[in-house]
Amino acid sequence: MKIIDMRCRPAYLHDFFGKTPGGADYEVVKWLNGRVGTRGDVEHFTRSATPDGFLAEVSEAGLTRAVVVGRHTPTQHLPNDVIHQITSTSPLLEGIGSVDIVGQGRQTALDEAERAILTLGLKGIDVEPGFGNPFRHADDPVFFPLYDLLQGLNVPLCLMSGPTTPDPRYNDPAPVANVARLFPRLRIAAYHGFWPNVAGIIGVAFRHENVFLIPDMYLFQPGSQLYIEAANSFLGDQLLFGSSYPFRPIRQSVEDLQALGLRDAVLEKVLHDNAAHLLGL
């Protein structure tokens, strides 16, 4: 079975992912693994403390592709050149870049997004409105020039969402509907799937077929069965798999997804086909 993991980062990428044993971030990675249902060793991610170890994890999990996601917020910056450096080491890896149009300034961010796509070959751009300074919703007009650029380049916008948003009011899926309406050719992928506001984002995706949901580790949390029900109905082409590694084991996440009740034809789409379409593979 072909599998594309839409959210898969090595520990060695940053302390935030458990790069340095014994540190505060390392303990958070262990805690989060326990919180989202990791079975067995919550320090499994230490294997990806080296490039070879990460590739072994990806290969042994049976992935066709692993997508390494960048980030650019006031508190964490994973540069596009670093994402490119990591993903260029193996045909198993793809990259998503990132910009902060507020922090970098409009033209600098637009230029960097274009460079990330056209020069570095990254497959999309991650934007985190609810994690910025100040916190913003996805339909804030400050982001519109970037959305217009991505729509023109025909690459996806990846929006960060979820319960780790510093102010939970900015984990509101409703503004995504405005973005989807104003930019109808822009493919919008919601990391963390706006969990726990599952019904709201499913309603947005019902109305707008250019909205894609990647609940990743939250697919296995209470209330997330709605994603599965929707995928077996109208959402079959809009739900994508992500393990959220190193915060959850890759192979376990694949096995857990297979047990959630997706119809066979839908399971193939969720594990591979929808991601291949989104990324243009």
Q: What is the pLDDT of residues 86-110, one digit of tens each?
A: 999 999 999 999 999 999 999 999 9
pLDDT given for residue 93 in this prediction: 98
Q: In this predicted model, what pLDDT tens digit does every residue of 116-166 receive, in sequence order?
A: 999 999 999 999 999 999 999 999 999 999 999 999 999 999 999 999 999
pLDDT given for residue 243 in this prediction: 98
Query: In one letter, which amino acid is 225?
Result: Q
- Tell me the helices (H) and strands (E) count for the chain, helix number first: 12, 9
Q: Model's pTM, two decimal places?
A: 0.96
Instruction: Count how many Cα atoms sit within 13 Å of the Cα of residue 198 in the half-sphere of its side chain.
Output: 20
- As a whole number of angstroms, the distance between CA 112 and CA 240 comes to 27
Q: Where are the beta strands (DSSP E) in the chain?
A: 4-5, 65-69, 71-72, 77-78, 93-98, 125-127, 157-160, 188-191, 211-214
pLDDT along the chain (281 residues), means of 10: 97 96 94 95 96 97 98 96 97 98 97 98 98 96 98 98 94 98 98 98 98 97 97 98 98 97 97 98 93
